[in-house]
């Protein structure tokens, strides 16, 4: 059994969650559920980033204490995880004591590479990062389209430059595997341009006295990215280095970070360098997904073009939202959001596709009103072919393509019913009918298993209606009596 430690990025709580946050969390949950269903041991972490200057500015704009804003919005992200039916094992908040203690410990573990100097640079609050003039686009941050502020002060720096060759070797050799290849090439290009030491603190005054103090120096607050990246180990109680930390942050654990493309540099360069400095194990994989866009622009709170995920869940239900986000968008490219497309996907794929298939099979079983043995091999080759391709696509993080193959099977089963007209054989050829019905039940049961990572509740509902359990090896021993049920997905 392989151990998998899966993490998402932690989200700023300067505002409510938007649909882009939901996309990443669903991607991670699909991977977690898939690995668990495949018999692997999984620990799945998500959480919130609460020590950002963005949070301070949002609180000041509202005229409320920072702690009040952080608490209010953090609860919204916790609620979103529940509304999306995430299977996360933990939710880390960076204002927790376990995090504060762990961050200070990591800082001290990296102390040989930390020094203090006066620095002047262009700082984007949105990114919480300094930029070179050459990295700006028309003088604006490439990510947030805002003008960085000129900052000059004495701060602590981390000797990132010391790790340039080591990082290049690790990423080039795929010891730290970056998916997709295009993101790997971007990271290598950044490394090859020459790594400079990075600023890892800001004055407490500029931080408005919000954040974690640098050890033994309350005049400085730890840079939010040094703080935030540490969550992957502080959630495992790095401070005490107990059994949980030893088990999940180890050389023999598949540590996978699931992140958006805008923060690949932090995870693929800064974070491994910090771990190397502290003599800690490195992540094995950094999976970089695309953005959810709206009318061609990245969905972001700062741009004011966000879609409320709670509204989508209230309208369509979490299962439909999960299905849409996985089926509609490539896992590695940007995808443009559209409410119209949700309705189209719902009606074509779910109502007329999967829901109609289940209804047709249940109706056939109800008309026959006899128990049947599951002993049919028809459609076996197609089902096996699709299953093999599904697992290959899942292993390659192409979740949308894996789901598309499952719907190829759904469509083939609906076509099988249309072509073979099993209702015509119920009375005059009952043995043929039993064989056809067995074919449909077994194949739909397979569909239910394959959609489990994306639609766990729908998967279980179908298995229950077919009187099957989640252990396919036992299906041949089952006798089933089908009963009709309300539509799985009523057309809208």
Catalogue the active-site residues: 18, 21, 124, 127, 141, 144, 298, 301
Helix-then-strand count for the chain, H and E: 19, 19
Cα distance between residue 223 and residue 229, in whole Å: 10
Tally the C-alpha atoms within 13 A of residue 227's C-alpha that lie toward its C-beta. Answer: 29
Query: Which burial class, exposed, middle or buried, applies to 375 when counting CB atoms under 10 A from its CB (0-12, 13-18, 19+)?
Result: exposed
Cα distance between residue 23 and residue 20, in whole Å: 5
Q: Judge whether 397 and 287 are in contact, CB under 8 Å.
A: yes
Please report which residue ranges of 346-472 form alpha helices under DSSP H.
356-368, 380-395, 399-420, 430-450, 456-465
- CA dist list (Å): 400 to 178, 222, 326, 331: 19, 39, 5, 7
Q: Which residue carries 């720096």 as its tokens?
A: 157
Helix (H) / strand (E) element for 296: namely none
Cα distance between residue 485 and residue 488, in whole Å: 8
Cα distance between residue 43 and residue 255, in whole Å: 10
């Amino acid at each position: 059994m392989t151990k998998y430690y899966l993490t998402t990025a932690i989200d700023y709580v300067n505002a409510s969650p938007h649909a882009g946050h939901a996309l990443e969390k669903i991607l991670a949950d699909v991977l977690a559920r898939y690995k668990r269903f495949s018999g692997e041991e999984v620990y799945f972490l998500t959480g919130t980033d609460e020590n950002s200057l963005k949070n301070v500015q949002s609180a000041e704009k509202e005229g409320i204490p920072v702690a009040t804003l952080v608490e209010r919005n953090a609860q919204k992200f916790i609620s979103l995880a529940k509304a999306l039916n995430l299977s996360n094992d933990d939710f880390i908040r960076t204002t927790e004591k376990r995090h504060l203690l762990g961050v200070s410990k990591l800082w001290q573990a990296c102390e040989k590479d930390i020094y203090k100097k006066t620095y002047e640079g262009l700082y984007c609050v949105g990114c919480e990062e300094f930029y070179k003039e050459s990295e700006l686009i028309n003088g604006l941050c490439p990510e947030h389209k805002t003008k960085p502020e000129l900052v000059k002060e004495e701060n602590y720096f981390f000797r990132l430059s010391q790790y340039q060759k080591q990082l290049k070797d690790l990423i080039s050799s795929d010891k730290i595997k970056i998916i997709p290849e295009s993101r790997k090439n971007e990271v290598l290009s950044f490394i090859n341009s020459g790594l400079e030491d990075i600023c890892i603190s800001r004055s407490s005054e500029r931080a408005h006295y919000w954040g974690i103090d640098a050890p033994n120096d309350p005049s400085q607050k730890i840079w939010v990215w040094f703080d935030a990246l540490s969550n992957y180990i502080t959630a495992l109680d790095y401070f005490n280095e107990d059994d949980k930390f030893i088990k999940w942050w180890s050389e023999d654990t598949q540590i996978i970070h699931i992140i958006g493309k805008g923060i690949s540099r932090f995870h693929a360069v800064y974070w491994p360098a910090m771990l190397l400095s502290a003599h800690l194990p490195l992540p094995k994989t950094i999976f970089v997904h695309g953005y959810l866009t709206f009318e061609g622009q990245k969905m972001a709170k700062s741009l004011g073009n966000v879609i409320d995920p709670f509204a989508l869940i209230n309208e369509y239900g979490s299962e439909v939202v999960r299905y849409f986000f996985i089926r509609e968008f490539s896992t590695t490219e940007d995808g443009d959001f559209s409410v119209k497309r949700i309705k189209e996907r719902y009606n074509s794929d779910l109502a007329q596709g999967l829901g109609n298939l289940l209804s047709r099979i249940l109706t056939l079983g109800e008309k026959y009103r006899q128990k049947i043995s599951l002993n049919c091999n028809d459609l076996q080759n197609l089902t096996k072919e699709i299953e093999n391709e599904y697992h290959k696509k899942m292993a390659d993080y192409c979740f949308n393509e894996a789901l598309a193959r499952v719907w190829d099977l759904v469509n083939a089963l609906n076509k099988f019913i249309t072509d073979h007209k099993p209702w015509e054989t119920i009375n005059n050829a009952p043995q043929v009918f039993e064989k056809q019905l067995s074919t449909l039940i077994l194949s739909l049961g397979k569909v239910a298993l394959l959609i489990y990572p994306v639609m766990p509740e729908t998967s279980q509902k179908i298995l229950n209606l077919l009187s099957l359990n989640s252990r396919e090896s036992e299906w041949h021993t089952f006798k089933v009596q089908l009963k009709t049920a309300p539509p799985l997905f009523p057309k809208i």
